[in-house]
Amino acid sequence: MSLHAGMAALRAAKQTLRREIKQRVAALGGDEKLRQSLVVSQQLFKHPKYVSCNRIAVFLSMDDEVRTDVIIKDVFKRGKSCFIPRYNSNSSHMDMLKLSSLQDMESLPLTSWNIRQPAEDDNSREEALAAGGLDLILMPGLGFDKAGNRLGRGKGYYDTYLERCIQHPKGKPYTIALAFKEQLCPKIPVDDNDVLIDEILYEDVE
C-alpha cells in the first residue's frame, strides 16, 4: 500500500471510530456522565502526580467530555496555578493561558463550541510555556485505548502543543486523560504524529 493510500485508510478508520464513540457517549444520560465524572475526579484527586503538581493545564469540558468544573475548583482550593486552552480556530495552534480564579473563568467569553476561553485579543495572561512550563496536562479526547493511544477530534491541538512542551527546558509534562468508560476502545488507529498519553483515568468496573 502506498504511503498516501495508507494515510487515507488511517483517516477513514479514525472517522468511523469517531462516529461510533460519539454515538456511545451520546446515549449516556446527563446523570450518568456526571456520576462517571465524579468517579474520575476522585481518582485524580488521590493521584500522586496531581497532588504534587504546581502548574496544571485543564480543559473546559464540552457536553461529551468528562466534566472538569469540580476539578478546576479543587485546583484553586489547593493553590495550584491553573492554565486553560485557547484554541486557534484557523489552525492547530493552541496556547495554555493562566486563570486567576473561578470568577475569572466564569467571566470568559463563550466560543462557537459553547466553551469558555480567553478572547483572541486577550494578551494579558501568562502562557504556560513562556514561564515555568507545566507539570501536568489533563487531556480531553474522543477515544482512548489502554496502551495510551488517543483519538482526538482531528485538529491536532494537543499533539502540536505537546511538541512545544518537549522543546521547553522543563520538558514534557505528565499527561493524564479523563474518560468515560464508553470512550475506551480495544485499539486506536494512530500515526507517527500522535503523542502517547501517560495514563487514562476512567471508571474501571472489571
The pLDDT of residue 90 is above 90 = no
The pLDDT of residue 33 is above 70 = yes
Which pLDDT value is given to residue 1? 59
Whether 157 has a binding-site annotation, put simply, is yes
**Domains in the chain: boundaries:** 3-201
Measured distance CA(111)–CA(15) in Å, rounded: 24
The pLDDT of residue 155 is above 90 = no
Cell of 188: 486506536
Q: Which comes out higher in pLDDT, residue 55 or 204? A: 55
Q: Are 150 and 177 in contact (CB under 8 A)?
A: yes
How confident is residue 206, by pLDDT bands cut at 50, 70 and 90?
low
Question: What is the amino acid identity at position 148?
Answer: G
**Considering the chain, what is the average pLDDT of its residues?**
92
Whether 151 has a binding-site annotation, put simply, is yes
Which pLDDT value is given to residue 34? 97
Which pLDDT value is given to residue 137? 98
Whether 11 has a binding-site annotation, put simply, is no
CATH 3.40.50.10420 for domain 3-201, yes or no, is yes
Whether 174 has a binding-site annotation, put simply, is no
Least confident span in 126-140, 171-185, 187-201: 187-201
Q: Compute the average pLDDT of residues 32-53.
A: 98
Whether 18 has a binding-site annotation, put simply, is yes
Whether 17 has a binding-site annotation, put simply, is yes
pTM: 0.93
Whether 181 has a binding-site annotation, put simply, is no
Whether 152 has a binding-site annotation, put simply, is yes
- DSSP track, 107-135: TSPB-TTS-B---TT---SPBGGGTT--S
Whether 158 has a binding-site annotation, put simply, is yes
Cell of 145: 485505548
Whether 127 has a binding-site annotation, put simply, is no
